[in-house]
Amino acid sequence: MEEKLIWKEESRKIVLNTPVFSVTERICRSPQGIQKTYTVLDTAEWAMVIPLIKTTDGEKFVMVKQWRHGAREISLEFPGGVTEKGEAPEKAAFRELKEETGYTAGKIEKLGEFNPNPAIMSNKIHFFLAQDLEGPDKQELDPDEFVEVLLIPKDEVIKNISKPPYIHALVAAALCLYMNQSTN
């Protein structure tokens, strides 16, 4: 049945290479024989981690506040980033947590994965829950990363998702997976 929906890629060429992604033009043919050119962003896999910490005043998420150039505003997010060449998404989650927050996880669990935008992107983002946190130690930020680490009550994040500074759609996706896991 799905054969009526599957397009065949006939060729592709890179039209732009950047340090973060490549833009490719792909010539594809529909099941009915129509040929079209589509533009796709190719990038590495991503990992995002929800660090959960138990404090004397309840459960909190370890989050990072940072400037986002696309939105041109501050965003409050779960730590995450690009997987390095040959790096498993789980290892990237451990690494990003340590680099961005200074915390390390005693336990990490995969919550799921999505394609961030399947219409134009080829990669996946992998979501993890980190528990039994230790730290924080010193952050290990990249030279162009400026991040403030905050402990935010879990209920506050859930209540305010989609309102500034909770503007990142992938944070909402992570939260959805977390809430689904915690109700099962």
| Domain assignment of residue 117, given as a range | 46-183
pLDDT surpassing 70 at residue 184: no
Residues 49 and 26: their CA atoms lie apart, in Å, by 32
CATH code for the domain of 123: 3.90.79.10
**DSSP for residue 56:** T
Helix, strand and coil percent figures for the chain, each rounded to 5: 20, 45, 35
Q: Are strands 148-153 and 73-77 parallel, antiparallel or unpaired?
A: unpaired
The residue among 35, 33, 36, 31 whose CA lies nearest residue 4 is 31
Residues of the chain above pLDDT 70, percent:
99
- pTM score, whole prediction: 0.94
- Name the least confident of 1-10, 71-80, 127-136: 1-10
Number of domains in the chain: 2
Residue 58 binned pLDDT confidence (cut-offs 50, 70, 90): very high
pLDDT surpassing 90 at residue 99: yes
For residue 80, give the amino acid letter: G
Q: What is the pLDDT of residue 158?
A: 96
On whether both 13 and 71 belong to a single domain, the answer is: no
Residues 100 and 81: their CA atoms lie apart, in Å, by 10
On whether both 51 and 38 belong to a single domain, the answer is: no
Q: List pLDDT tens digits, range 161-182.
A: 999 999 999 999 999 999 998 7
How high is the mean pLDDT of the chain? 96
